[in-house]
Amino acid sequence: MPVYLRKNISFSPPSLENITDIDIEDDFTADPDLLRDKLPQPYRLINKIIDNVVEKAWTYISKVEEKKFKELNRVRPPSYDCSVKLNLEKEYNATGLSDSVDGRYVFFGTSNGIIVLDALQQSIVTVWEEEKVDVVHIKCHLIGVQTYLLVTIDELGVAKLFIFQADHIFLLKVLNEQESATNKIITSKCEASAEGDYVGIFLENPSKNETWLEVYRLPRDTWLREMETVVGELQSIAQSAAQQQEEDVEGTDNQMMVGERRPSVKVLTPHTVGERRRSSVVNLLTVPPDDSSTKTKKRRKGRNRSSSPRPGTPPPLLTLTPGEKPSPKFTPPSLVIKIHPPSPITACTTTSLQSACQKVDSGEVIGTGQNHVLSGSHLDLRDAMFNHLNEKLLPYLKDDDEKEAEVIQPTFHFVPSSRLSPLGLEQPSQTGKPTNIIVWWTGETNIKHYSLLKTGKDFEFKPDLVWPICNKVKSTAVSKCGSFLAIGLSNGTVVMWDRYLGVEKGIVNIEEKSSISFLKFLDSSLSATESISYPPYKTTNTACLLIQTTSGCQYIYNTSLQTLVTLQVITEEDDDVQVLLSTMKAVPELLLVVSKDGSLILKDVVNGNSVCQLTLPKPYSLTSPWEPIYCFGAGGQMLFVKGSYFEKNEEGGLIDLSAVFIYQLRSFPTLDTYWQHSRELSTEVIHPTLDKRINSLLRYRISQQASRKERMQERWGIMKDELDVILQCKETSKHTSRTTITPSTYRSTPPALR
């Protein structure tokens, strides 16, 4: 390539007055690379590209080396392996796990029904079977003495309610029964209140593109009475069947003694059918695997042969067809309220101003903004003005086709009455029970409160209370007592409310560049309170809120101390983002999290240190690092985790070899200090009544009686000295000389003016 150089190039020298301003250091070259002449094109461009590539590669290598160095120097927590492995058959693959509130049982949602497992003994209690029912979600609620309500959702989007008591499990209600094959109504979310008083289900109709939320009142007390009757009938039927079997055996023995030869008949009792089913469902293997077969045989031999009949087997005298399950009919739940998602605000359709003003309320209560007097032409004019003012920025906005379709789902909480919604607050029968429901939809800026005590034929009514928020709501959390409500916003702000008193507890700005993704109220024993000597009763409400942002940072906010503690900060270079799962029931100081590589870690929620790590045996891994299938059992002493593993067969397909692993948390040495730690039972809500305050003041006064006598005697002694000082002051005041005041020698006005 030819190089062209200009000829007769002359540079004018600087003027004399500017020569002194030139720095002498500029005449010297400090960089040795500048001694060489500049390369001509295109070699200069090639050199620049190569230098840029080398610089980027060196920067990447430095980051990798720095990451490896940090990983080697990181203090790793002790690692523990699982102690028990549950190998389920292929047709009983675990798709969901849930523990009972009291820690007695663990409920398995499988591909063919539900399995109830004893948490301590790891033995099958009962099985509810139905073909092609893949239970993907299961949740347990304690509604009575060893009586449990199960809320399940299968893969087809059908929500069902079950009841479990005395080793029997029955179907209560199918919440979204399919009326026709063309008009299917599916659900993706179904949650019940803590004690099973209400249940909320989110329904979708894909054919009509409709979604709504339905809330049902569950007849819990009626179900308990009906369940006692059903269990009593099953026990009487089992006893009569056992007596009939004994009589048949005695008659057969007598005939054999006479000499009649009869063919041998095997009597198939309900217990034997259930035993065979249970033995074919699960195969328990303990670690190490060498002793698994012998221990499994001993466990099978040691089973109780006199247990009650299991569901899924035909109870005698209830049905004569073997294999048919008893299906008693229970009282159906009643619909309370039906809530639709918020519709977009449109123009006022009325033609006259008078009719438009009649639809608008007085404005005393904050509403959703649907009733207004803005016409369509006015809204079009506002849009045109906005487009005119932001004409240069409009091309950078995403089109409607490019925007991701956001799935609108409701988030709801069942809460008791409060000062803001006092309906049911003064009723003793509603004390501690949920009487309201808080609902907000995805992408909405309003939080709506609905009362569950309203009666009427119309199930679609307006919210009793609307809270407008300045930003989009991303997450919410309600304390165990239902008094505190935390709201996480898209701008990284958390708003806390005391619902009982109707006051705002505070606004905390966590981060500006990320939104709030997770909120959870911790146990009240972890919240530190200020020691106040007087008054003698507690006056502050305490709560600890666990916060996680979309960037992965974790914080704890204490409402009583008004402090924000940082547990983990994720920088741009660090990509080890953890997913918060839940805290242990027996040990609230421990928090179960999942790291990015899929490992389970027990973390101290107070200081943020990792206590221990739970590893799955190779080649198993978590089903999903962000939503693993797990649950605690036996009051937090055990952890059940599903591990997934797929193997290719000869035809090239995948064989699911998943298993459930059990960790004996009680046997981990690093957790001994947490198990031995004593915890004080404290309540989050502290609202002492007038009688409690008066009684506390009287007790405080009686306890201070002895010290009050000492203070009175000391005060009388001091009073004598004070009287002497007062008398001395009076005597001195009498003898003091007083200065006489005479008229002034200067006149106030000149004589000429008189």
Secondary structure of 222-266 in the HEC alphabet? Answer: HHHHHHHHHHHHHHHHHHHHHHHHHHHHHHHHHHHHHCCCCCCCC
- For residues 34 and 429, give the distance between their C-alpha atoms in angstroms, rounded to a whole number: 89
Considering just the CA atoms, what is the radius of gyration of the chain in Å?
Answer: 39
Which pair of structure tokens corresponds to residue 570?
């994720």
- The amino acid sitting at 494 is V
Which of 666, 656, 664, 624 lies closest to 640, judged by CA? 664
Which of 634, 623, 664 lies closest to 94, judged by CA? 623
Q: Quote the pLDDT of residue 274.
A: 46
Q: Residue 512: enclosing H or E segment and its boundaries?
A: none
- For residues 372 and 359, give the distance between their C-alpha atoms in angstroms, rounded to a whole number: 8
CA 115, 118, 123 angle in degrees (round to 5)? 80
Residue 679: strand, helix, or coil = coil
Q: Is residue 45 part of a domain?
A: yes
Q: Is residue 70 part of a domain?
A: yes
Which pair of structure tokens corresponds to residue 595?
């790291």
Q: In which residue ranges of the chain is pLDDT below 70?
A: 1-39, 90-91, 181, 251-325, 359, 361-365, 399-406, 424-426, 527-541, 571-576, 680-687, 736-754
- Residue 172 φ/ψ, nearest 5 degrees: -90, -50
**Tokens 């935390």 -> residue:** 486
Q: Quote the pLDDT of residue 386.
A: 92
Q: Quote the pLDDT of residue 12.
A: 64
Helices 690-703 and 705-735 pack at an angle, to 10 degrees, of 70
Which pair of structure tokens corresponds to residue 421?
């919604």
CB neighbourhood size of 300 (10 A):
14
Omega before residue 410 within 30° of 0, cis: no
Q: Quote the domain boundaries for residue 47.
A: 39-74
CB neighbourhood size of 45 (10 A):
10
* Eight-state DSSP code of residue 27: G
Q: Which CA distances in Å does 95 have to 88, 135, 581, 644?
A: 11, 6, 17, 11
- The amino acid sitting at 399 is D
Phi-psi region of 273 (alpha: psi -120 to 50; beta: other; left: phi over 0): alpha
The number of folded domains in the chain is 1
Residue 110: strand, helix, or coil = strand
- For residues 231 and 675, give the distance between their C-alpha atoms in angstroms, rounded to a whole number: 38
Strands (E), 380-419: 410-415
Beta bridge partner(s), residue 80? 614
Quote the distance between the C-alpha of residue 324 and its chain's center. 39
Contact between 505 and 497 under an 8 Å Cβ cutoff? The reply is: yes
- The amino acid sitting at 160 is K
Q: Residue 534: enclosing H or E segment and its boundaries?
A: none
Q: Is residue 65 part of a domain?
A: yes
Long-range contacts of residues 152-157, Cβ cutoff 8 Å, at least 24 apart: 152/96, 152/109, 152/114, 153/187, 153/188, 153/189, 153/190, 155/95, 156/186, 157/184, 157/186, 157/187, 157/188, 157/204
- For residues 659 and 656, give the distance between their C-alpha atoms in angstroms, rounded to a whole number: 9
Q: Quote the pLDDT of residue 414.
A: 94
Residues 6+ apart with CB under 8 A from 555: 510, 546, 547, 548, 564, 565, 566, 567
Contact between 410 and 417 under an 8 Å Cβ cutoff? The reply is: no
- For residues 359 and 352, give the distance between their C-alpha atoms in angstroms, rounded to a whole number: 11
Q: Is residue 52 part of a domain?
A: yes
Q: Quote the pLDDT of residue 13.
A: 62
Q: Quote the pLDDT of residue 283.
A: 43
